[in-house]
Structure 1
């Protein structure tokens, strides 16, 4: 691939002068001339960087040129359709429209055995004498049609159903390797087919960022590319590392109408001299498109088969995902004679690779921070098929297992799926590194010290750790927290990403109707409803508040026990380790975790910020007296209309004891739907009376306990 010629006499190509005059010192003509020179230079630098991988200026110098062009276009209204500044993304779209393709974008017949490839050759030879074949990688990306008029980018569409595709014009314009203006002397009308993809190194880096933000990684580069290209906000597409290869001229001519009149979609393209696919490949490169350097011409089908085998051997070294080789008849006139079926071209065949086994390579290991601050090591993998599911990450559990297996980046490992669901690294097949992965000493999200608790590691940053923020906000509003309707994980993530929640959950109570209606999908009614829910949550029961703020090891049941024992939030916050251990069911380790939470200044500051905004938990009071004093109850199975926590709270609020296991001290076992067999057997062994839900509620009623209509 030859390097492009630099634009002549352009001061911004080599050693550019970055000491620009103030914009206000320029007149309109001077600004227009400088803007055009900057566009030409930036296009040249884009080509050198994104296509040739051979930049001639430093990144910072490029940034200065780009910023200057943006400033000029803004100050003098000089924007053009093919300006490089278009790549930053336009206004968000309401939806993706559909467009009809210039010519049908058909699929390619495929097979994974040499016999299938030779059968393809036999079919071709019935029409074509001694066919010559071109071979190129079969990219595992997203096929796309891009249209140019007079050398300027006009439109892009996904393949869709082959006849029509989704209009992704604005999104494709943000991809740096897609030229907005062509080089040389392209046809006045040109439709090109290519493949959008994410380079493997960029895919792994982007997945690492997603995991560290607490988001799920993409399963594979193709899914990532497809999801990115269909974003309604082009600025999101612009932020993601998409690239592309051009590989086919779909249409070319003086106008679109002239091409259609020629009816030459698979024959020689009119007025271009492109008689072969090899001619196309060379022309695409001359016009400024990125083309793949593993394109080869073979004189017979055995050469094409050997090409595929060489490509398979080199597969893991390539910076992009491929799943086979495409073999095409070189002569376009011969292609026209061969024609098509309703679904695929008769002149092309994809010789596919065998599916990857469940052995793969660890490309990176990142640490994900959970809601409670627990650090989980995640192995990012070369995507591998495990039981029909593409796996690109797997858990490494904890430091003890990592040490036992000796896992490190670069190792070849075996992947299994626990319960056929959760992928995990089961063993190292071949080690390519010394030692093993070790946990960081500080949290990757907030820099707080990391502490080890047995086999587990925890961030000590607490409520102030940004990695815990989205999950923490969602949990704060969940049923196990303050039960704030409308505040789920998706809403929490949107609030954090949009900057409405910057510090902690206390920011929820600073939200306004104006803040919310500015978000996509929010109207005044939904905004008002959420704010009403937030206002109603300002005086929660103390157990709900203790569960909502995310104290490690403290769920709804333990939160209720703490509230009953200490009665007020201040008393809980000022208690000592030994005070916590006085609560039934709290051992030394749990007491230590609770104490560390309240000793953390960041956590105390969050609670103080909540109080400043009017959040004041109600002290714990015995709601129903001692009607069940002396009784111990165990629940098993589900009771319609009630959660297990609610049933246990009902018993305990009236003086009884609700435990999780049956013993000789148990008075009643309440069995709902699908009860546990072991508890039922224990009840029989200990002569414990078994009640169904109706009998249980009758018992409560007989003791004067009103449970309403539930």
Structure 2
């Protein structure tokens, strides 16, 4: 039994904890004073019941009794106007918001280095011990804390004077989306801490959807004719970003807390001081009523940490939550402080990840999706199969060349591989059961325009006249590295197209508040906000206008180079490939992509129509190049491939801002290829052929650090 000194409600003083009365007296017979006293007791009791049920998994009362207490509290608050900011009834969800605001974290929420091989873990241990010796600390005193690496959505939760104050997603590690009202609805997140917490406590947690709850919820979605979530992580992330907290409250989210981001005491109030170790932090979580996993151990050596991960892997399928490895952290805070961090990751933590899971199943069909640039991506529709606790029913086949290389067709038995335990794809055929290979369509499955092959890839030639390309083109136009129009996410763009309001990109600038206000999911405020955003985008910088058009192979870096070279929009549409190749970062392939895009009648018409509607890009200063002179990275040339913790455009902008060049292809002039997750094969092969060093994100961050450049880039850097 939990000590009464750290409970939300003492059963000897609160009648609603262990043996609540079977009935309540009528509300109209209560005085205001009695009602307020009863409401206070009910709030305390419900907090205690929430803790016992969601944190300790040891409920004190039956569900029906809990519901009766909860309903009584709501009845009292409504009848006597007793609304309280920290009341458990607030968990049903507050008012919907038009968008998620951005807030700064109490402390950076860094990622951690990881590997799947034990040798890399031992190398981490070696670096830690060497670092401690350099700082005058005895590595023989080193202890590690080992915990599961959760596969959910990381959040910061802040408590002030023990009361829930705010929550935010990880975002870029420095700032995240404000999800205070959304996280408030998660019943395992206490609205008030127990015991003696510090004046301000910021903790890091992982929001997830339990596997059993995920399966049940997906079944409900299917029954309603709605699209199910692909996996529990997507379900948690998609739910937490809902703008309506009441929607979040209806979905089965849970949380584990695992780290302290900030612990501020107040001497006059006699607040508890922070423990000296991470292990002590976790024990304090128990006192405060913060839910944490019980799958945690403190060990004396790296071999014991490796053994912890291996044992955790054996139990992985029996857990009701997703994990993709174990996190190994130095226990002592003083040792952590001495080891410090790079700009990206702490030097005192490491993730020993599990190898990806595979399974075999049958291809029941192949569908072709149309992307923003018209690229056609084939997707295998599968006989659903469980891969690491996730039901996989679709997997990418990448492109027509991949289909031809595999020789895959409907009916074949194939192996499914989840890259990074997230993205399923087909690496091989296990048993050939069909005749021949799938015949890739010669016309677009959405608009019936002819399909063109470009090496291993295929593209729809319908341009912005293709509905699928239109929706993605509008989304791309509105992106931060385009014209930065807030309020135009995928769901809203789809709504606008289906309502017949946006049939081409220029139609955005014909929209009115009256057009939008009556649409489902919109209101007067959100309509006015979007119109204001569109009005503000009518005079964009030339490079953003070019990036927003979605020209294949033209990202923000190439768009800046084009703007700097040509100066104004009028000079670009008729430039031939030779003139385009005079631009820094534009080689033969990119020049051909630009020329092909601009030669299509529908694209030229869209640009003309945008200008007719008053979208007039601001001319750029013609520099004839992009060199920035003497700067920390002056003279270096980078190429980026794969997924980084920020967009590639942000990475390119950062190195360019400090004097480097960022190009799209590897050559003999390239100094470094920076390879994130799932890097492109061509660039890695080119780097090997040209003897260009390949850096992962951690090594890239260290290189920048050596030159005095921080990573990741600050917002708007």
Q: How many aligned residue pairs are there?
A: 405
How far the C-alpha of 1:79 sits from its partner, in A, is 1.4
How far the C-alpha of 1:45 sits from its partner, in A, is 0.8
The alignment status of 1:296 with 2:297, answered yes or no, reads yes
Q: Report the counterpart of residue 342 of structure 2 in structure 1.
A: 341
The alignment status of 1:305 with 2:306, answered yes or no, reads yes
The alignment status of 1:125 with 2:126, answered yes or no, reads no
The alignment status of 1:383 with 2:394, answered yes or no, reads no
Q: Report the counterpart of residue 239 of structure 1 in structure 2.
A: 250
The alignment status of 1:41 with 2:41, answered yes or no, reads no
Q: Report the counterpart of residue 238 of structure 2 in structure 1.
A: 227
How far the C-alpha of 1:358 sits from its partner, in A, is 2.5
Q: Report the counterpart of residue 155 of structure 1 in structure 2.
A: 166
Q: Report the counterpart of residue 276 of structure 2 in structure 1.
A: 275
**C-alpha distance in 2, partners of 1:285/1:113?**
33
How far the C-alpha of 1:518 sits from its partner, in A, is 8.1
Q: Report the counterpart of residue 357 of structure 1 in structure 2.
A: 358
**C-alpha distance in 1, partners of 2:202/2:312?**
28
Select which of 222, 225, 228 maps to 1:211.
Answer: 222
Query: Which has the larger Rg?
Result: 1
How far the C-alpha of 1:300 sits from its partner, in A, is 0.5
What is the CA RMSD across the aligned residues, in angstroms?
4.0
Q: Secondary structure at the match of 2:279?
A: helix
The alignment status of 1:187 with 2:191, answered yes or no, reads no
Shift of the 514–21 alpha-carbon distance from structure 1 to 2, 3 Å rule, reads farther
After superposition, what is the alpha-carbon deviation per residue over 1:251-306, rounded to whole angstroms, capped at 9, x for unaligned?
Answer: 11236x99xxxxxxxxxxx9524100100010011100111001100100010001
Assess if the C-alpha contact under 8 Å between 1:112 and 1:354 holds in 2: yes
The alignment status of 1:9 with 2:13, answered yes or no, reads yes
How far the C-alpha of 1:198 sits from its partner, in A, is 0.7
Shift of the 108–144 alpha-carbon distance from structure 1 to 2, 3 Å rule, reads same
Assess if the C-alpha contact under 8 Å between 1:137 and 1:294 holds in 2: yes
**C-alpha distance in 1, partners of 2:311/2:209?**
23
**C-alpha distance in 2, partners of 1:235/1:184?**
30
How far the C-alpha of 1:18 sits from its partner, in A, is 3.4
TM, length-normalised to structure 2: 0.51
Shift of the 164–206 alpha-carbon distance from structure 1 to 2, 3 Å rule, reads same
Q: Report the counterpart of residue 146 of structure 2 in structure 1.
A: 135
**C-alpha distance in 2, partners of 1:421/1:47?**
37
Shift of the 33–514 alpha-carbon distance from structure 1 to 2, 3 Å rule, reads farther
How far the C-alpha of 1:71 sits from its partner, in A, is 1.0
Q: Report the counterpart of residue 316 of structure 1 in structure 2.
A: 317
How far the C-alpha of 1:38 sits from its partner, in A, is 0.4
Assess if the C-alpha contact under 8 Å between 1:358 and 1:386 holds in 2: no
**C-alpha distance in 1, partners of 2:96/2:430?**
46
Select which of 31, 52, 70 maps to 1:66.
Answer: 70
How far the C-alpha of 1:514 sits from its partner, in A, is 14
After superposition, what is the alpha-carbon deviation per residue over 1:424-468, rounded to whole angstroms, capped at 9, x for unaligned?
Answer: xx999xxxxxxxxxxxxxxxxxxxxxxxxxxxxxxxxxxxxxxxx
Shift of the 334–385 alpha-carbon distance from structure 1 to 2, 3 Å rule, reads farther
**C-alpha distance in 2, partners of 1:389/1:309?**
30
Q: Secondary structure at the match of 1:147?
A: strand
Assess if the C-alpha contact under 8 Å between 1:220 and 1:383 holds in 2: yes
Shift of the 322–422 alpha-carbon distance from structure 1 to 2, 3 Å rule, reads closer
After superposition, what is the alpha-carbon deviation per residue over 1:194-214, rounded to whole angstroms, capped at 9, x for unaligned?
Answer: 111111111111111112222
Q: Report the counterpart of residue 176 of structure 2 in structure 1.
A: 165
How far the C-alpha of 1:55 sits from its partner, in A, is 1.3
TM, length-normalised to structure 1: 0.52
Assess if the C-alpha contact under 8 Å between 1:18 and 1:64 holds in 2: no
Shift of the 523–9 alpha-carbon distance from structure 1 to 2, 3 Å rule, reads closer
After superposition, what is the alpha-carbon deviation per residue over 1:440-499, rounded to whole angstroms, capped at 9, x for unaligned?
Answer: xxxxxxxxxxxxxxxxxxxxxxxxxxxxxxxxxxxxxx9xxxxxxxxxx989x99xxxxx
Q: Name structure 1 gaps, 5 residues minimum.
A: 259-269, 362-375, 391-403, 406-411, 429-477, 479-488, 495-512, 527-639, 642-710
Q: Secondary structure at the match of 2:348?
A: strand
Match runs of 1:217-616 below 5 Å: 217-254=228-265, 272-359=273-360, 379=384, 381=386, 382-383=389-390, 517=518, 519-521=520-522
Q: Secondary structure at the match of 2:167?
A: strand
The alignment status of 1:56 with 2:60, answered yes or no, reads yes
Assess if the C-alpha contact under 8 Å between 1:204 and 1:380 holds in 2: no
Q: Secondary structure at the match of 1:227?
A: helix
Q: Name structure 2 gaps, 5 residues minimum.
A: 133-138, 363-380, 398-410, 432-466, 468-489, 496-513, 528-600, 603-717
Match runs of 1:79-158 below 5 Å: 79-128=83-132, 129-130=139-140, 131-158=142-169
